Amino acid sequence: MLHNIAILTGGGDAPGLNAVIRAAVKTAKVQYGAHILGIPDGYDGLVNGSDPWELDLPEVAGLLYRGGTILGTSNRGDPFNYPVEQPDGTVIKEDKSEILIERLKELRVDALIVIGGDGSLTIANELFKRGTNVIGVPKTIDNDLSATEVTFGFDTAITTATEALDKLHTTAESHHRAMVLELMGRDAGWIALESGIAGGADVILIPEIPFKWSSVMKRIDDRRKKGRKFSIIVVAEGAFPEGGGQVVQQTADETHGLARFGGIGHAVGLEIAKQLKMETRVTVLGHIQRGGKPSTFDRLLATRLGVEAVNMVVRGEFGHMVALRGGKVIPVPLEEAVGNQKLVDPNGQMVMVAESIGISVGR
Ligand code: F6P
């Protein structure tokens, strides 16, 4: 009998995190009478010895539609490579995993549920190898985890991005402008591709297909020649031109974690204005994509994953992650799930759909 389950959220927030927490707490309490401890601020909370708190039914009431995570999260601070600032301002990485494991013992945690993306689940897998009873729950708005068909947060993000495109259309049409929308996704173009199709974009640029400037310009110019004086260009933050590189605000060395993307939208906007002498405006949707209440789809998926994560704890299926496959929620080994990015296939069906209806992907 497991008495103490701890739960943490790691990496960037995503709509649906609270819905997973709610479902896990309800299942643990109502079905199994177990205790659930909420760990604050992801793995950081364990390394720093922050006080967890017990999650009971009142704590999760009203959580279903709340964005973010009531537990707090962090996408810095890998416990195996923990950045520690030195007196001279330099940062060195230290292995703090033992502190974390000791803390779990101190808290008498029988099992740890980690809700996170690839980075947090990789750490979860390492902790499992060192003897921690871990269950993973995949999340990311980027939808770039190959072990699961879709991650919660993605549907909400593309819905938000599609609504933004609907709104940009009005100004584009009224002012005969090129409107560029830069979207998130890191190295994966899912958000840009799917919301671009749904939002009626004319050009969609994704990291999986390095683009030709000439193809981008041709598509916009062809439209102009046909009397369509405006164009909508969706640019994934990780997109880059052939022979060029990705645009980042901060490198991985500077963040002590992952590089921070941003800027390709403005580069594309400037080039369109210069080459086509066209009024161009750029919008960077940014964290709006991660915020707000989860869509119905994400609430359902998050709830299914939260319930099954607790069932897996009870069945002792540690070292596994809940995944959606063939419409069913099933356990898959973390080892198989991590480090296996799901990127857009440049010759896959979704890109073909885009090209079939005249969208340029810049090739
Ligand atoms: O992985 C989710 C994500 O939103 C990416 O799409 C984006 O590049 C990144 O996180 C932004 O991270 P931060 O919140 O640290 O700026």
Write the pLDDT tens digit of every residue in 300-355.
Answer: 999 999 999 999 999 999 999 999 999 999 999 999 999 889 999 999 999 999 99
In this structure, the answer to whether residues 285 and 302 fall within a common structural domain is no
Distances (CA, A) of 307 to 149, 180, 269: 18, 40, 45
**309 inside domain:** yes
**281 inside domain:** yes
Using the mean position of ligand 1's atoms as its centre, give its distance from the Cα of residue 357 in Å: 30
Count of the separate structural domains present in the chain: 2
In this structure, the answer to whether residues 161 and 211 fall within a common structural domain is yes
In this structure, the answer to whether residues 95 and 143 fall within a common structural domain is yes
Q: Is residue 142 annotated as a catalytic residue, yes or no?
A: yes
| pLDDT on residue 1 | 60
Amino acid at site 315 = R
Burial (CB count <10 Å: 0-12, 13-18, 19+), residue 302: buried
Q: Quick check: 111 and 308 in contact, CB under 8 A?
A: no
pTM: 0.96
**360 inside domain:** no
Q: What is the mean pLDDT of the chain?
A: 96
Range of the domain at 267: 156-291
Cβ of residue 74 lying under 6 Å from some atom of ligand 1: no
Cβ of residue 119 lying under 6 Å from some atom of ligand 1: no
Cβ of residue 182 lying under 6 Å from some atom of ligand 1: no
In this structure, the answer to whether residues 170 and 59 fall within a common structural domain is no
Please identify, by atom number, the ligand 1 atom nearest to the C-alpha of residue 255. 15
Q: Which residues contact 9 (CB under 8 A, 6 or more apart)?
A: 17, 21, 42, 69, 71, 72, 73, 115, 116, 139
Write the pLDDT tens digit of every residue in 245-258.
Answer: 999 999 988 888 88
| pLDDT on residue 339 | 82
In this structure, the answer to whether residues 142 and 249 fall within a common structural domain is no
Using the mean position of ligand 1's atoms as its centre, give its distance from the Cα of residue 12 in Å: 6
Which of 9, 75, 284, 343 has most ligand 1 atoms within 8 Å of its beta carbon, as the pocket-test mutant?
75
Cβ of residue 128 lying under 6 Å from some atom of ligand 1: no
CATH number for the domain spanning 99: value is: 3.40.50.450
Write the pLDDT tens digit of every residue in 180-238.
Answer: 999 999 999 999 999 999 999 999 999 999 999 999 999 999 999 999 999 999 999 99
In this structure, the answer to whether residues 267 and 184 fall within a common structural domain is yes
Within 10 angstroms of residue 264's Cβ, the number of other Cβ atoms is 27
Hey, what are 12's tokens?
């960037």
Cβ of residue 185 lying under 6 Å from some atom of ligand 1: yes
**351 inside domain:** no
Concatenating the DSSP letter of every residue in 165-192 gives HHHHHHHHHHHT-EEEEEE--TT--HHH
Catalytic residue among 142, 187, 202, 298: 142
Query: Distance (Å, rounded) from C-alpha 133 to C-alpha 129?
Result: 9
Amino acid at site 302 = A
In this structure, the answer to whether residues 313 and 280 fall within a common structural domain is no
Query: Distance (Å, rounded) from C-alpha 139 to C-alpha 20?
Result: 10
